[in-house]
Structure 1
Amino acid sequence: MKLLAIVAHPDDADIFCGGTLAKHADRGDTVTIAHLTRGEYGGIETTTSEIASVREAEARQSGEILGADAVEFLGFEDGRIEYSLENRLSIVETIRTFSPDIVLTHYRDDMHPDHRVTSRLVTDAYYMASLPLVETPSDPCDPENVYYFGKPTAEFDPSVYVDISGYEDVKADAIRRHESQVEFLQSHGGIDAEFDNLVDGIAAENTVLGKQTGVDSAEGFVPFHETTRAYLE
């Protein structure tokens, strides 16, 4: 099986689906992480180009820990991801390049505007990737399904749970590789309480999801199609 996680920023994949990616990589599946941006707004007291370089390096290190086969950056601008045909076609080409069975991305209901736009772009690109008359350099492909991840909200209610028991430490280690971002989020404060203790807070959320399905730790998803031949597990 081939998985492609398309996320807005470095650290998004680790936080939202790092355990799932590590589990699939460990069992021999092909895992790719594609970042729309280099996260250049995620820092203080330095330049955006310096932040982007640091965050890209951190993301590549965390990708190695998760066992990803490829870590890509698509060149979008942090905080300024826009819904456009050009951007949609860029993601179509990314999907076609890696020809995944399953695509993972952000849920549409999210506080961060980049996450919301990413969700819409990926959903529409997923549809377009199979259309022969949509021209991009790579050949059309037809992924089985999109699985959305997100933070607990009134709207986001997972219906698919992936048991990540045994991969908690791998996920935590991958998140900690984003040293600059963990420090920034914890000092940023105010916007989201989970940033006060990022790694422990995410682990606690995974534990809660695990209890709902009778396992030690889990990540939750909402599938685009309820019925599919390729299952995220």
Structure 2
Amino acid sequence: MNDTNKTILALVAHPDDAEILCAGTLAQLKEKGWQIEMATMTPGDCGTTTLSREEIGRIRKQEAADAASLLGANYNCLECDDVFVLYDRPSLLKTIALIRKTRPQIVMTMSPSCYMVDHEMTSKLVQTACFSAGIVNIKTEGAEPYFYTPHLYYLDAMEGKDKFGEAIKPGMIVDISDKIGMKEEMLACHASQRTWLREHHGMDEYIIAMKAFSSHRGEQIGVAYGEGFRQHLGHAFPQDNILQAELGDLVHVDF
């Protein structure tokens, strides 16, 4: 791998997951000269009470592309069905192909433990794809093997808790105080979701909810706003904290 390939891939489950959980950190890395790539497993085609899967899927993919463009990022959708993300061969091949095509040094994905199985399956798929991208006997059309295991970081679970309501402590928190405006602007691109979240989740003003959770993480490190991460440190994965190396004092590991 070329060490100058400063590319980060944020591969999440649905449009708006990255904006809620890691957009501030992506903006910090953009400022450091990193190329940002954004992708979702699904187009979020169940996030509506009024439109067909095809209609809401088109809308949400455009919203995701609009949000990504604010960071000069590309956006890709792997076109899995919302609510039906499976840990299976077709989904893995799509995920491996994306890793090979984008050739990231850093990958960010969903928490292994979260309220929604789509999130958990995305986490598993991305873990395997990062490990497997260089395996030559796995064939992906139009994508050659990528002989590098990226640094893998898991985002906070939604609301920072697992399915049993227990708090999940992040391994590090990134200070995003000066990027909260960008994070809010990116999330605001997902206009279709305000009505959906109000009607299905009983939750209005999800920008306010995002800022409240970011403020909570920020308070833990004595700043206005933060985002939490855990690094995958299993066998064969990089052991150094490249986020800390790149962002310096913005990354807090002792709190």
Q: TM-score, normalised by structure 1?
A: 0.92
Q: Is the 8 A contact 1:3 1:32 kept in 2?
A: yes
Q: 1:133 and 1:19 mapped to 2: Cα distance?
A: 37
Deviations 1:59-91 (A, max 9, x none): 1111112x1421111111111111112211211
RMSD: 1.6
Q: After TM superposition, where is structure 1 displaced by more than 6 Å over at least 4 residues in a row? A: none
- 2:3 — aligned with what? none
Q: 1:207 aligns with which of 186, 205, 215?
A: 215
Alignment pair present for 1:156 and 2:161: no
1:189-204 alignment to 2 at 5 Å? 189-190=201-202, 195-204=203-212
Pairing of 1:1-233 with structure 2 (within 5 A): 1-65=6-70, 67-136=71-140, 137-149=143-155, 150-151=157-158, 152-153=160-161, 154=166, 156-190=168-202, 195-225=203-233, 227-228=239-240, 230-231=242-243, 233=247
205-214 or 128-137, which deviates more = 128-137
Give the deviation of 1:144 after TM superposition: 3.4
Q: Is the Cα contact below 8 Å between 1:99 and 1:141 reproduced in 2?
A: no
Change (3 A) 1:155 1:189: closer
Query: CA separation in 1, counterparts of 2:199 and 2:181?
Result: 24
Q: Are the aligned partners of 2:16 and 2:187 in contact in 1 as well (CA < 8 Å)?
A: yes
2:226 alignment partner AA: A
Query: Shift in Å at residue 155 of structure 1?
Result: 5.7
**Contact kept in structure 1, 2:130 and 2:150, CA below 8 Å:** no
- In 2, the alpha carbon distance for the partners of 1:155 and 1:209 equals 12
SS of residue in 1 equivalent to 2:224: coil
Distance 1:143 1:21 in 2: 20
Q: Distance in 2 between matches of 1:180 and 1:26?
A: 29
Q: Counterparts of 1:110 and 1:229 in 2: how far apart (Å)? A: 23
Alpha-carbon separation, structure 2, partners of 1:210 and 1:128: 35
Quick one: distance in 2 between partners of 1:215 and 1:138?
Answer: 43
Matching residue's letter, 2:228: G
Q: How many pairs were matched up?
A: 228
TM-score between both structures, scaled by the size of structure 2: 0.84
SS at match of 1:166: helix
Q: Which residue of 1 aligns with 2:250?
A: none
How far 1:26 sits from its partner (Å)? 2.7
The percent of aligned pairs where both chains have the same amino acid is 29
